[in-house]
Structure 1
Amino acid sequence: MNHNLIRMLPGIEGEELIYLQNLTEELTESELQTFISIYSGKRVRSDNLLIGSIVGLFGFAGVQRFMIGQIGMGILHFFTAGLCMVGTIIDLINHKKMATEHNLKIASETLHMVRMLNG
């Protein structure tokens, strides 16, 4: 299987790369291409989440939570000024972990979607 396609995703590294390789090892070439095209559109790069956290710190609190689909937490951060800035600072420190957790969840959902599409 050609897992070099996975390595070509921008910003992919470490735990996410290993997880994706294990998750997609049984996919055919066309299923893998479908998986990558869907997954690449939904995943969040950790550096983008870092930028979102910085924006949350100095402006629109909660933007980093909206980026990873946590709408309720985003609204809570917005109306509480990032939980009095403490929550935003924690998100700033943990941006890589948040991005990885989000991406692993998205990868599992995308694999399920690809399997449903290919019957």
Structure 2
Amino acid sequence: MSRILELMPELEPDELHYVQALVNDMPYAETQQFANIYRSRRKKPQDVLLLVIVGFFLLAGLQRFYLGQVGMGLLYFFTGGLCFVGTILDLLNYKRLTYEYNVKEAQTVKAMLRY
């Protein structure tokens, strides 16, 4: 665990455990490369939370666009965040939404490094 914690101290606990399991069999140089690429692609839960809050007042669905869910973003945009119910649910589940996005990105980065 210390290897990935040393390289990416900003990870949330659940994400840290997942990424550590993902890079466990990689040599240190490849782990460093993984960390550099993954750090540039991952999303922070605080950013998603901020976009959910902005969605209440200005433009619903920004968090979904930010997380690459264009269809849901359009649905939220045209329905006012599903009449605010979806936006409220995203407010409660912003960490899970971010974690799911980051898991997919981690898998993508690992696949890129394995050729």
TM-score (norm 1): 0.89
Q: Where does the alignment leave 5 or more consecutive residues of structure 1 unmatched?
A: none
Shift, 1:70, TM fit: 0.3
Shift, 1:7, TM fit: 3.5
Contact 2:64 2:70 in 1 (8 A): yes
Shift, 1:14, TM fit: 1.6
Equivalent residue pairs, number? 114
Contact 2:34 2:110 in 1 (8 A): yes
CA RMSD for the aligned pairs?
Answer: 1.4
How many angstroms apart in 1 are the aligned matches of 2:102 and 2:32? Answer: 17
How many angstroms apart in 2 are the aligned matches of 1:104 and 1:6? Answer: 17
> What residue in structure 2 maps to residue 96 of structure 1?
95
* Runs of 4+ off more than 2 Å: 1-8
TM-score (norm 2): 0.92
> What residue in structure 2 maps to residue 4 of structure 1?
5
Shift, 1:38, TM fit: 1.1
Shift, 1:29, TM fit: 1.6
Identical-pair percentage: 42
How many angstroms apart in 1 are the aligned matches of 2:34 and 2:106? Answer: 8
